[in-house]
């Protein structure tokens, strides 16, 4: 296994709440995927769930080494959950292309995500590793 990217981000939940209140759907649609919106809007703790996903996107953009530039857009990075509720990342567009470009030949990238919140903070850490193609978990 080889570490090829690491990102961390800390977000103030109240800042996300202000953006949600001020910009509403314009903010939500610009930043979050439909899957993320469906998950967050169905929760009683809507704002903290959006904040954790915002932090996850920022952490992933840092791990990719691009930030939200060079063709990587907010909605190219999406937080999804498996059947047990474990969060992970689904990359599309420019984020997926960047991941493919940074993955060494003969290896497959694996993205690991952890998120947490303790009001007023939400945090996410993203670790990108490269595994030999025959040992890939993907």
Q: For residue range 13-28, what is the model confidence (pLDDT) as tens digits?
A: 999 999 999 999 999 9
Q: Could you tell me if residue 55 is inside a domain?
A: yes
Query: Does 58 appear as a known binding residue?
Result: yes
Q: What is the CATH number of the domain that holds 16?
A: 3.90.470.20
Query: How confident is the model at residue 42, as a pLDDT?
Result: 86
Identify the domain containing residue 92 by its residue range.
2-132
Phi and psi, residue 4, nearest 5°: -120, -5
> Is 61 among the domain residues?
yes
Q: Which residue has the tokens 């850490």?
A: 125
What is the percentage of the chain residues whose pLDDT exceeds 90?
92
Q: How many residues does the chain have?
A: 138
Domain count of the fold of the chain: 1
- Per-residue CA distances from 27 to 74, 126, 127 (Å): 11, 23, 27
Report, as an integer, the average pLDDT of 53-75.
Answer: 97
CA–CA dist 112, 109 (Å, integer): 10
The answer on whether 9 is annotated among ligand-binding residues is yes
137 within a domain of the structure (yes/no): no
- 138 in a structural domain: no
Give 65-111 pLDDT, tens digit per residue: 999 999 999 999 999 999 999 999 999 999 999 999 999 999 999 99
């Amino acid at each position: 296994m080889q570490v090829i990217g690491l990102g961390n981000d800390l977000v103030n939940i109240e800042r996300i709440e202000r953006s949600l209140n001020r910009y509403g759907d314009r903010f939500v649609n610009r930043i979050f995927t439909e899957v993320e919106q469906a998950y967050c809007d169905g929760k009683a703790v809507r704002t903290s769930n959006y904040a954790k996903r915002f932090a996850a996107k920022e952490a992933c953009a840092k791990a990719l080494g691009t930030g939200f530039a060079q063709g990587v857009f907010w909605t190219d990075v999406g937080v999804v959950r498996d059947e047990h509720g474990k969060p992970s990342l689904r990359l599309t567009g420019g984020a997926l292309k960047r991941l493919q470009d940074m993955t060494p030949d003969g290896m497959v990238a694996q993205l690991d995500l952890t998120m947490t919140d303790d009001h007023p903070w939400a945090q996410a850490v993203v670790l990108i590793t490269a595994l030999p193609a025959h040992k890939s978990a993907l």
